[in-house]
Every structure is written in structure tokens, then in C-alpha cells.
Structure 1
Amino acid sequence: MGNAATTAIRNVVLLGHAGSGKTSLAEVLLHRAGATSRLGRVDDGTSVLDAEPESVKRRTTLTLAVATLDWTTPGGERFKLNLLDTPGHDDFAQVVDAALSVADLAVVVVSAVDGVQAGTERAWARCEELGLPRLVFVSKEDKAGADFEGTLAQLRDAFGTAVIPLELPVGTQQSFRGVTDVLFDRAREYDAEGRGADVEVPADQLEDERRRHDELVEEVVSGDDDQLERYLAGESISAEDVERTLAAEVAAAAVFPVLLGSAASGIGVDRLADFVCELGPSPAQRPAHVLVDGVDTAVPADPTGEPLVQVFRTVADQFVGQVSLLKVLSGSLRGDEHLTNTSTGTDERLHGLFYLRGKEHLTAEDVVAGDLAGVAKLTGSPTRSLLALPGRPVALATLPAPAAGFTRAVRPVTQSDDDKLPEALRKLCAEDPGLVVVQDEEAGQVLVTAVGDTHLAVALERLERKFGVRVETEDVRIPYRETIARPADVEGKVKKQSGGHGQFAVVQLRVSPAARGTGLEFVDSIVGGAIPRHYLPAVERGIEDAMAQGGPLGHRVTDLVVECVDGKYHSVDSSDMAFRTAAALGLSQALAQAGTVALEPVWSVSVTVPSGSQGDVLADLATRRGRVVDTGGGTNGDEVIEALVPMAELRRYAVDLRAITAGRGRYRAVPDRYEPVPENLAAGTKAPATR
């Protein structure tokens, strides 16, 4: 594959709800362009893009795939399209974000059968945040139940009247056979092989087509003062002029044309590719934004400029090692180029550049600004690294903290798995930034947090397939605490004086509950030298030892006032260790004597949900022993619920919230405080279940 000029490159991300037909659409585009010799299909496991075993098994996209193709428009212009196929499942939103970070145009795929869904709304909202230009492709027009007009109405209701059709269907459902172009007033019908031919607009569609043409022209020229003045004066505006203005408005994310077709029959797919080329912006029109000495700075996609490269995805390949996917933001790359990681100063050699077509690597002699490519063995530059000439002070803006996810503890199956687990998890996280791994020293568990249960299941399958490490999962152990139930006066004693150097210490303690969150308050009330001052630090350490060892329920002890009121010592046999031991024994005795109260961690939770789901979410929080602190309006018609919820009730909340809100809800949670466990639940907190 040869190089294309920056102005002829189109970096296109396919977005939409799971099952809307994104991957099937990409497969047809590749086949129609001659990039693949046979049509890959998701359902029979032959997809070029969904080639990973986890995707084949589930018949759905689970990761980001990049595929390049050449396309020639009816006017004879040649373009290079880099397709970025993304998952529709919301467990993989960070994969989508990686694609969005390098795309210049989004094609939002919407099923004509299912209409606007949660995944459609998420994709649109993310594009809005980024100001990314969009086309809409209404797919599955040949399926039973397909309703283009109903889907268009949903799109306009959800996203505004700037969503406007460029095409109308010729025929409906099983009789769907072509598309009508309302800008150029012509139709295109297709044979059984998916080959299209231009025809006249069907007679029964002429009136509707003319009305849609006028609406389109009016919407487009309203964004251009000169054309609007001519239009209002009654002057005819040529379709070519309208198309040029439309392209500018698409690039400005001001108008969102709607196209339609079917991947199964191929109808309309060639027209989609034409419109992507003719209306979609090139990288030259969309400079990248980086931080230069902390200041947001635009970087034009200039092939003659200084090289600047973004690593937007990292993949572990069992044959070639780490593969990094790159976008050249500026300059041009050639084989064996040396660049520096701008964050770490690591020197990286970009040897053996290649273009991607799913799993296939196509040799690239050089890669110009705006293009996407891959390279192996950039081991010192993970995802979101920038590579540049030495000394260039550039960085990417920090991403916002991710929403709370789904956490499980993992346990290696064999000793061999245990030995390999840390490095395998490190590599897995480098490939999938949506994963977070934490070693919980208190619980003795390795915790893996994913976006949801599907994400976690897929990640652990990859852990075994790519790195040969098998793990089992278990619940995260809740870090319960306990505190004394009521005051107690006790004596702790160590006495061993059977000859030689002995051990002797006596401490009298008054132990009381303290205010929540205070930990330990140690009070020295010794008078008359009953215990020499230099032994009191050992007494306090002994109390801390016993608190860490745990109370009758087996949890760490907290929130105590311990007053040392009296004691005894021996001039020869007393020691720091003796007083430390005596104090620990005394505290343990006090806890056993007075009893303890189990305390559980309570988290502050902020839940953002559509207003229509607020009642269901509030009811669910009540079943989780949640206490609502506040409710209020969010953005885009959402409601925000602030609540305090026990950590034990949040184990599956990421999964359950998605089910309650049809995938539209999200939440964030941070530790807030410890509170007593209700009496009816306290017995269930006892160790060893939580140890």
C-alpha cells in the first residue's frame, strides 16, 4: 500500500450501540474497496476485524480494530480511509476513547429496526464533548421492522434538527433496493450482488424527495451568509455549491448528514464511502491539541513539520511482542527513526513501520502527518505517550478519572501462575488502560477493577490466552473494623521471674469508645512513677499491636481512648518488650470483657442517571441500605443522586446500575467513613470470611 497525501486521508471511527452493524459495515467497505478477497462475516467467525478469540466466541466487537483501504470516488479522486471499528458495549468505553483520540470523523451507526439506543446516546455525547464531526448511517434497512422515518424522528428528537437526511430509502424492509440522494436529486438501485447503478428518482417519491431537498438546502445555506443571501433573494444554488458548504459545516460539527443502507446486501455502502471522502474532514483540517509547557496548543498536521507521534493503543502480540498503534500528528516518519518519549525521556527506535488491516500488517516505507500506523517493541512508551525530537516539552492533557467499576479479587490456580501473575497483569493493563490492578496488603488479595463484568471476563480470558496465566476470582474482602462496645477497666500483666533475667510488667488500662474516625487516643495518667516514663511509648505500641491484631470478630480495632492509669515495674526484670506485651494483653482482655461493635466502610456515591430512571435508582439504593444526601439536576436532562452506601452493597453496583438504567447510568464512589454494622448483619462480618 502506498502513501496518501495528508489531505486525502480520512480517519473514521465507527460508533454505535452493540449490534447496530458497525463491524459488518466495515467488512463490506473493505471488500468493496478490494482490500479483502472475500467478505468477512461476524456471525460465522470470519471477520477481519473481530479476529480475537474472545470476539469470535461472543460474536461481538470487544476491542479496537484498525483497517486501512483505498477508495476512489465517482469523480475519480483517490482517498485513503483508516477505519477504526469500536465496541458498542459500554464496558469498553475506554477503547472507544482511544479511537476517538485519533479520529477526524465519526460514523454513528444506528439500526433502522432498533432506533436510537443507549449506545447511540453515549457515542453522540462523547463526540459532542470532543467537537468531533459526525455522519449518521442508518443500517439494516432491509430487515423486517426497519423504519427509516421513525429512526430519523428519534435522531432529530435526541440530537436536534441539524441531523438531516441526505438520502431516502427506495423500497422498505425486504423490498429495500436502493437509496435516493436528496442533494443531487438522483437515485441508485442495486442488484442481488450489491452492484449499484444510478437511476431516476422513483415517481412515487418525487414529491417527498423535492421537499427533503429544499429542507436540506435551507439548513445548509443558513450557515453561509453569502449563500443564504442568494437563497433568500430567490437565486438557485447549485448542488455542488451546497455540497462544498455542507462539507465545511460537517467539519465544524454544525450539521450531521444521515445516510442509509444495509451491510447484508451492500446497498448504500459505496455511497457512504463516497460521502466520507467528499464531506469528511482530513487531518489537515483538524489540528491535534497538546500541552506545551502546560498550555493548550494546536499542532497542524504538516508533513514537513517536526515529527510528533501519539501512541493511542498498545497490544500484546505473542509472536512479535508489544505492538503500538500510532498517529503521526506532525511531520513524516521513515523506517529506523529515533524519537524520544516526551514524558520519560526514553529513546525509541521506530523500526519496521506498518499499516494495519485487522491482524494483517502491511509494510509502510514512510508515514505522513495525519496517518495511522503500527510499530513493534516500543516497550518504554505505553498508551497515550507522545514521541518527538529530544527536548520538545509536549504532553497530552490528563484524562478525567474513570467512573467506578466492577472489582474482583484474583487468585492464581498454580504456583507457576502465581510466579507469572504480576508481569502478566502489568502487560494486560498496558494493553487495556480500562483495567486497574491493586495489591491489597491488608486483605492479602490482588484486586482487578474493570468497567463491568463482561470487561473483566474478557480480560481474564486474554490473561490466560496471551500470557498463559490462569486465575480464579472471589469477592473482595470488605475491610471491616471493630471498636469497643462500652468502657472497661483491665489489668495487663507479664510476670516471668523463675531465675536469671526475667520479664515483669503490669499496666492498668481504662478503655473507652472514641469518636468515629479518631483511631487511637492514648492518655498518660500515670502518677508517682508507677511506670517510668521511658516505658510509656512501649505501652502505646503494645496497644497498637493488639488493635492491628484484631478483636473478637477478627477485624482491626479502631476508635479507642486508652488511658494508662497505673502499673508496676521491676528495676531489673522490666523492659520495653515486657510493657509492650502487657499492654497488648490488657487491651485484648478489655475487648473480650466489654465486647465489640463491628464497623463497616461507607462510601460517598454520586450517581448520574436519566430522569426517567431516578425513581428506580432511588428504590434500588434503599435496598442497599443507602442514605440519599441530595438530588439535583445534571446536564442533558440527567439527574444526580448523592448518597452514602456501605461498601459491601456496592460489589455489583456497576453491573446492576447499568441494568436498571438500560446502560445510561454511571456512578463515582470514594471512601467516606466507618459506621456500625446493623445488629442483624453483624454476625455475617466475622472473620475468617473477611480475613
Structure 2
Amino acid sequence: MGDKANAHTGAAGRVRVADRPAARRNVVLVGHSGSGKTTLVEALALASGAVNRAGRVEDGGCLSDYDEIEHRQQRSVQLSLVPVEWGGIKINLLDTPGYADFVGELRAGLRAADAALFVVSAADGVDGTTSMLWQECAAVGMPRALVITHLEATRSDFQEMTAMCQREFGGEDPDAVLPLYLPLYGTPGPDGHAPVTGLTGLLSQRVFDYSGGERTERDPGPGELPAIEEARNRLIEGIIAESEDETLMERYLGGAECDVRTLVTDLEKAVARGVFHPVLAAAPAAEGAKHGLGTLEILELITGGFPTPQERGIPAVTSPDGAPRPALSCDPAGPLAAEVVKTSSDPYVGRISLVRVFSGTVRPDEAVHVSGHGLADRGHEDHDVDERVGALSTPFGKQQNWLGHAIAGDLACVAKLTRAETGDTLSDPSAPLLMEPWAMPDPLLPVAIEAHTKADEDKLSQGLARLVAEDPTMRLEHNRHTGQLVLWCLGEAHMDVALERLRTRYGVRVDKVPHRVALRETFAEPATGRGRHVKQSGGHGQYAICEITVEPLPNGSGIEFVDKVVGGAVPRQFIPSVEKGARAQAAKGVAAGYPLEDIRITLLDGKSHSVDSSDAAFQTAGALALRECAAEARIHLLEPVVEMRVRVADAYVGQVMSDLSGRRGRVVGTEQTAEGSTLVRADVPETEVGRYAVDLRSLSQGTGRFSRTYVRHEPMPEQLAEKIRQENRNSA
């Protein structure tokens, strides 16, 4: 770190990297949209010598957010890999989207990484989504550090933001979240805001000055040391509290001076174990400058404090049929176990898979086994096939730098894996493996689509298959009840990007249409009807008469058919015909065109003709009898009801319950799930929750989560039912 006597300087990004896992660091950047993650990645690439100026690779191409959609929307929408080198270490920086709709890309980045940099804007503070992701990382023991950005903003305050981070992320131990440096301020401008020109190392008590465009080091001035004394003492105590050397605290309390090198070593061990979370500051380099403020300190923290791939555990593996397999280690010579963390398509190369190699070594043109991921319910088929690896490369902006192989602990792009999708496992064909999948959020925003033209319809199936292969957070459904093609997304932004990719990448235009809910019909009261189908027009005629009664049954009973004909009024061979006709009419509906259910149809009587009666005639009579019953009775329109399980911070419970009640929901219970969090359970009509994924996010400041499960159909209020009937009559 910066307190290590400035061990790494100059064009360290060009140092040759050793071909071993210990020379790798995989770091994911986490933070809300606009916090400065992409800018920080570009600043780190510039400081390491990987680019010649901020955001530009050496041939002039863009480094990050180079996708056309990202340019248009001015935000990251996908996981990006930017590899840099520093001090003989290859650092794979994984830049993730900060918007909640793309949390699937973020979770993929967490899976591929061994440590996380949480980027917090001094102008915006900490949002609820970032806090939830911090808890997710804490649950798996992932090492974390914080970087405070946007210190140039008016009224930004490093100390205030550090205190906020301690409250949000420190939990019961705020001294586990402490700064390693304090900002050094220059002369205030006309607005009274003083720019940050450097950093003061709390352990080394050295000043790192960035005012000249490159980091220079000097001794602090006479008035600068007292300002850091309190923060320095607190940092030392925090490091000692996490030290594995139990005698260090005794010596410190006894008045002994702690050696800086010992403190730095203990600090790095505590960071790697995920029990201490340093806070740093960063700012992009000025025009023409080589180093952005804090960039070298961050690179030194990553290489010195974050764990190597060998120090992090590997996800559990089984055989594809579920049989247990021995645990793996991060060994290039071990059994191959790699995972596809991202899938994309290139118009020239085809499908490209970003792969994290956990064990073994991947080489071009070798056979691998592709094992599926168990997301068949989302339109992602399970895989259990062999494929051949194409070219290997590492991305850098739009460039692809070719690789001879990818070892355990590294990330690489693999070309021409035509069957592999995000979440799939690559292993040796002679000993196939399946890695334990990571948690994927459920897509809960339905978007019904139709092909724009006949030409689009011909390409729609293939385009959608390729689209969902790239994104496991998306679900494709052909609803058998409504006949609609529905794309389930995480939110409106997720939907917009998906449809835009479908148009620009796969040449398929679609139109959004109103999403229909699977309504039903049922009888509200018993009724009797007579079906008469008699036609005599010369030649063979048609003759069938039947009398039936219909009565309602409890919810979920389906349709029962009872034969009570006596005396052979309806010949035995035609009784199934009556049932078939009545059931066919029930499937079409009798009032608003929705399937009829939960009724008992009883055949009481009828008439036949020895010559003109037929199967077709009695089918028609059965349908007519059911329609006559419906004309005499009240028909309920049934709507599906779902159980909503909404998990939300306690501060928003009242608003959530009020909102659910406004959706005609019935709250059936609440329970405390964790400190400061409540689970609200409610039964709500499905027609009222189509956009709930969007509305809950707004209602809870992005902190709410929910799931929904179908429970039953219930009668819809008559005024709403009549409105739907009228709409159907108008569109007929």
C-alpha cells in the first residue's frame, strides 16, 4: 500500500505477469449508478500504464462502456472485464452496472471475483441496494474495501462520508471500517470548496501529493501531523484488534511503539480475511495527468491486501447427475472446473463466453464438457454435452488480446461455445462436473410481445433464444392460457435493453402489447338448459337434443360431468359426445370468452333419432345446452390471486401495507426476518401486480424484494368484471 515505502511506481502496468494463480487478483466494483465505478476503472488503467489517456486504449478505442446501448443510455448495463497489471500482478477489474435492473450482471461479477471494491459517491451517499449487497458479501466472507469518490462536489465531506459508511457497513464494530488516508486540501475556490490535492498516510505519516499530475511523496508540514493523530490512533487500535498476534495489543497498551511494517502486514491479513474494511479516496486524473488521486493507493491495496485466488474457496462441485465429487483447489494442474459468468454475441466471432477458471487450465481447441444450470423454467435448457473450445482471449475495450491458455484463478473469453450459457460449468469430458449455481434474482415484470412484421416473426424464435441464453435473469414464457409470448424482466430498464438488443443485435423488431392475465369464468348459481340441434335439409340430417343442469363447485374442483339419463333417452354411445361438446364450450367460455371451471354438469334427459343422430350432433347439442344455462344464470368472472411475500425495511412497512390494500390485497401476516427488516404476506389479485416490480422499488427506495405464488382464482368485483366484458365486446 502507499505506506509500503512506495514500492510500485511508473509503468508497473507493463510488468510481465507470472503464470501462476498467486499473481492474479479478481476484483469486482460495486456501487449505485453514478457512483463513479467506470471512471475509477479507467483511472486505475491509466495509473497502471494500460492506457495512454483516461478512458482510451492505446489505439484510441474506448476502454469501458463501449456498447452502443451504454453510449445511448449513458450508464453501464452489462458486466465488463478490464485487466491491468501492477507490480507483477494481473488485476482483473470487473465493472458492474449500478442500476437495480441489472443486478444479474452484478451477481455474475461477485461470482467471478475474490474481493470487492464498494464505490460510494460523496455527493450521493449510500443507497439501500448497496447496503444489501454489502450484507450478501459479508454472508460469504468476501473481502471488501470502500472507495469514496466525487470529493470535488460542493459540500462533499470525506469525514462525514466515512462516518456514514461506518454506520451502514460497520454493524456492531464500526472500527472495522476505517480510513487508511486522510485527504489533503488545497486553496478554496470562489465557491468556498477546497479541492483535494493529496493524501496523508495514517500509518506512514507521509504525504502523497497529486497536485502535479503524478504522485510525489514528502514529509508532512509542522501543522499537518496533529490533524491526523486521532484518526491514526484509532486505525492502529482497529488493526491490532484484528491482529492474529495476541501479544501486539498487550505491547501497545503497555506503551510500546508499533512497527509500521508489522501494522501493514497485519492490516493486509485482516483485509484478506474479510474482517477489516479500509476506506480510501479517489478522483480521476486531470487532463494530461498520469495519476488520479488515490489510484496508486488502491492498486497497492489490491495487490497487497486482497486475497489471491488460492486463498478463496471454490464453489462446491458434483457430477451432472448429482453424485458428490471431491473438493477442488485452485491448481492449474488440477481437474478442469470453469464457469461461464457472462455470455455475449459478436457479429463476426459469434457467441463469446466470459469464463472464470477455478481449477485446471483451459486451452484452445480442446474438448470440454458443458453441464447445464437448472434454469429450464426460465427458458434456459439444461446442458450435458461436449464442445470444443475456440480461441482464447482477454478483452480490453473492443480489443481482444489472444491467449495461449487460461490458468486456474484467471478470467478469459472463450469463443465458439455454441451451447454454453451463463451459469454453465466447463469440465473435462472424461470426468464431468457441475458447479453449485449462484443465486439469480427472479424476473417479475411481464412484457407481452409480438413480432412487428412477418419477416420479424420468422426470426423471432431464434433471436429470443439467443437473448435469453445471454441473460439468466430473463425468462421466456409462451402462456398456454392467454396464447401470449411473455418476456419476464427485472424492471423497465432491463426490458428496454433486452428489446433494443433484440432489434440491433439480432435484427428482430417486436411490439409491446398489453399483458393479459389468465381469467376464468364460473357459475354463481345453478341453472338448467336445453340443447337442440335439429337440421333436416334433404339427405342425411342431424338430430340431437339434451337437457342438462349446471351447478357451481368449490374453488379448484375443475369440471365434473355426471350422467343421470334413464330409459335410454340418450343412447349410451352419444353420452360421451354430450360431455365432449360441453367441455369444448367450457374451454371457450360462456360470457366473456374465458375458460369455465369449477362446475358440475349433469345430463338429465334428451332425444335421439335412429338415422340422423350422430357424435357431431350431440357434441353441438351439449355446447348449446351449456350456453343456454349461462344465459339464465349469473356468471362470475374469476381472477387469479397470488400470495405476495414482500421483504422490506421496517421504515417502509406502513407504506407497503397501505399500497397492497389499495391493490385490493388482504394482508395475512407480518413477521420480523432480521434486525430492521420485515416480511409482509398478502393475497393480492394478479391483475393488480403487473408493475409491482417497478412500484415497490420506488416505494422502498430500492430496498424492497418480493416473490409471488399463485394460490387460487376468486370472483372479480362485478363492476370490474363488467368493464372487461364490455372491452371484449368492443374488440370482437
Q: Please give the range of the TM-score, normalised by the shorter of the 2 chains.
A: over 0.9
What's the CA shift string for 1:287-344, capped at 9, x where partnerless? 3112224448642211222222211111011121100111111122333222222454
* Aligned mate of 2:664, from 622, 625, 633: 625
Q: For 1:385-424, list aligned pairs within 5 A.
A: 385-400=424-439, 402-424=441-463
What's the CA shift string for 1:40-71, capped at 9, x where partnerless? 289xx985210111111121111111011111
> Residues 17 and 85 of structure 2 are in contact (CA less than 8 Å); yes or no, is this contact kept in structure 1?
no
What's the CA shift string for 1:610-636, capped at 9, x where partnerless? 111111111211221111111111224
Asked if residue 186 in structure 1 is aligned to residue 206 in structure 2, the reply is yes
What's the CA shift string for 1:640-681, capped at 9, x where partnerless? 111111111111111111011111111111111111111221
> Residues 480 and 685 of structure 1 are in contact (CA less than 8 Å); yes or no, is this contact kept in structure 2?
no
TM-score between the two structures when normalised by the length of structure 1 = 0.95
> Residues 17 and 118 of structure 1 are in contact (CA less than 8 Å); yes or no, is this contact kept in structure 2?
no
Q: For 1:422-571, list aligned pairs within 5 A.
A: 422-571=461-610
Please name the residue that 2:722 is paired with.
683
Q: Distance in 2 between matches of 1:393 and 1:379?
A: 18
Q: What letter is aligned with 1:285?
A: E
Q: For 1:35-74, list aligned pairs within 5 A.
A: 35-40=50-55, 47-72=62-87
* Aligned mate of 1:6, from 8, 11, 21: 21
Asked if residue 150 in structure 1 is aligned to residue 160 in structure 2, the reply is yes
Please name the residue that 2:9 is paired with.
none
Q: Distance in 1 between matches of 2:298 and 2:439?
A: 34
- The 1:404/1:466 distance shift into structure 2, 3 A limit, reads closer
What's the CA shift string for 1:210-250, capped at 9, x where partnerless? 22222222222223224334434444332222222222221
Q: Distance in 2 between matches of 1:513 and 1:122?
A: 48
* Aligned mate of 1:247, from 268, 271, 274: 268
Q: Distance in 2 between matches of 1:158 and 1:167?
A: 20
Q: Distance in 2 between matches of 1:689 and 1:81?
A: 63
Please name the residue that 2:196 is paired with.
176
What's the CA shift string for 1:267-300, capped at 9, x where partnerless? 1111111111110111011131122244486422
> Residues 199 and 209 of structure 2 are in contact (CA less than 8 Å); yes or no, is this contact kept in structure 1?
yes
Please name the residue that 1:314 is paired with.
343
SS at match of 1:508: strand
Q: Distance in 2 between matches of 1:688 and 1:555?
A: 13
SS at match of 2:316: strand
Single out whichever of 603-612 and 397-406 deviates more from structure 2: 397-406
Please name the residue that 2:380 is paired with.
none
- The 1:236/1:296 distance shift into structure 2, 3 A limit, reads farther
Please name the residue that 1:118 is paired with.
128
Please name the residue that 1:88 is paired with.
98
Asked if residue 369 in structure 1 is aligned to residue 390 in structure 2, the reply is no
Q: Distance in 2 between matches of 1:106 and 1:185?
A: 27
Please name the residue that 1:577 is paired with.
616
- The 1:418/1:125 distance shift into structure 2, 3 A limit, reads same
Q: Distance in 2 between matches of 1:498 and 1:682?
A: 42
Please name the residue that 1:75 is paired with.
none
Q: Percent identity?
A: 37
Q: What letter is aligned with 2:310?
A: A
What's the CA shift string for 1:522-560, capped at 9, x where partnerless? 222222222233322222211110111111212111121
> Residues 429 and 436 of structure 1 are in contact (CA less than 8 Å); yes or no, is this contact kept in structure 2?
yes
Alpha-carbon shift at residue 114 of structure 1 (Å): 1.6
Q: Distance in 2 between matches of 1:568 and 1:401?
A: 61
Single out whichever of 601-610 and 114-123 deviates more from structure 2: 114-123
* Aligned mate of 1:210, from 220, 223, 229: 229
Q: Distance in 1 between matches of 2:223 and 2:551?
A: 88
Please name the residue that 2:114 is paired with.
104
* Aligned mate of 1:221, from 226, 240, 250: 240
> Residues 403 and 667 of structure 1 are in contact (CA less than 8 Å); yes or no, is this contact kept in structure 2?
no
Asked if residue 22 in structure 1 is aligned to residue 61 in structure 2, the reply is no
Please name the residue that 2:169 is paired with.
159
Alpha-carbon shift at residue 120 of structure 1 (Å): 1.9
Q: Distance in 1 between matches of 2:675 and 2:414?
A: 41
The alignment yields a C-alpha RMSD, in angstroms, of 2.1
Please name the residue that 1:267 is paired with.
293
- The 1:240/1:632 distance shift into structure 2, 3 A limit, reads same
Single out whichever of 396-405 and 155-164 deviates more from structure 2: 396-405
Alpha-carbon shift at residue 575 of structure 1 (Å): 2.5
- The 1:93/1:297 distance shift into structure 2, 3 A limit, reads farther
Q: What letter is aligned with 1:376?
A: A
Alpha-carbon shift at residue 165 of structure 1 (Å): 1.4
Q: Distance in 2 between matches of 1:55 and 1:9?
A: 29
> Residues 479 and 690 of structure 1 are in contact (CA less than 8 Å); yes or no, is this contact kept in structure 2?
no
Alpha-carbon shift at residue 502 of structure 1 (Å): 3.0
Q: What letter is aligned with 1:166?
A: L
- The 1:395/1:154 distance shift into structure 2, 3 A limit, reads same
> Residues 286 and 300 of structure 1 are in contact (CA less than 8 Å); yes or no, is this contact kept in structure 2?
no
Q: Distance in 2 between matches of 1:556 and 1:256?
A: 59
Q: Distance in 2 between matches of 1:690 and 1:262?
A: 59
- The 1:119/1:598 distance shift into structure 2, 3 A limit, reads same
> Residues 440 and 472 of structure 2 are in contact (CA less than 8 Å); yes or no, is this contact kept in structure 1?
no
TM-score between the two structures when normalised by the length of structure 2 = 0.89
> Residues 62 and 398 of structure 2 are in contact (CA less than 8 Å); yes or no, is this contact kept in structure 1?
no
Asked if residue 657 in structure 1 is aligned to residue 703 in structure 2, the reply is no
Asked if residue 346 in structure 1 is aligned to residue 385 in structure 2, the reply is yes
Q: What letter is aligned with 1:86?
A: T
Please name the residue that 1:360 is paired with.
399
- The 1:466/1:18 distance shift into structure 2, 3 A limit, reads same
Q: Distance in 2 between matches of 1:34 and 1:123?
A: 31
> Residues 287 and 298 of structure 1 are in contact (CA less than 8 Å); yes or no, is this contact kept in structure 2?
no
SS at match of 2:102: helix
- The 1:636/1:9 distance shift into structure 2, 3 A limit, reads farther
* Aligned mate of 1:134, from 144, 151, 157: 144
Q: What letter is aligned with 1:36?
A: V
Q: What letter is aligned with 1:171?
A: Y
- The 1:636/1:325 distance shift into structure 2, 3 A limit, reads farther
Please name the residue that 2:218 is paired with.
199
Single out whichever of 295-304 and 413-422 deviates more from structure 2: 295-304
Q: Distance in 2 between matches of 1:47 and 1:407?
A: 35
Q: For 1:636-647, list aligned pairs within 5 A.
A: 636-647=675-686
What's the CA shift string for 1:428-473, capped at 9, x where partnerless? 1111212111112332221011100011001111111101111111
What's the CA shift string for 1:481-519, capped at 9, x where partnerless? 111232211111222345544322221111122212212
SS at match of 1:183: coil
Q: How many residues matched? A: 683
* Aligned mate of 1:300, from 320, 329, 332: 329
Q: Distance in 2 between matches of 1:669 and 1:690?
A: 31
Single out whichever of 606-615 and 379-388 deviates more from structure 2: 379-388
Please name the residue that 2:352 is paired with.
323
Q: What letter is aligned with 2:299?
A: A
Q: Distance in 2 between matches of 1:332 and 1:492?
A: 74
> Residues 649 and 704 of structure 2 are in contact (CA less than 8 Å); yes or no, is this contact kept in structure 1?
yes
* Aligned mate of 1:284, from 310, 313, 319: 310
Q: What letter is aligned with 2:197?
A: R
Asked if residue 31 in structure 1 is aligned to residue 32 in structure 2, the reply is no
SS at match of 1:108: strand
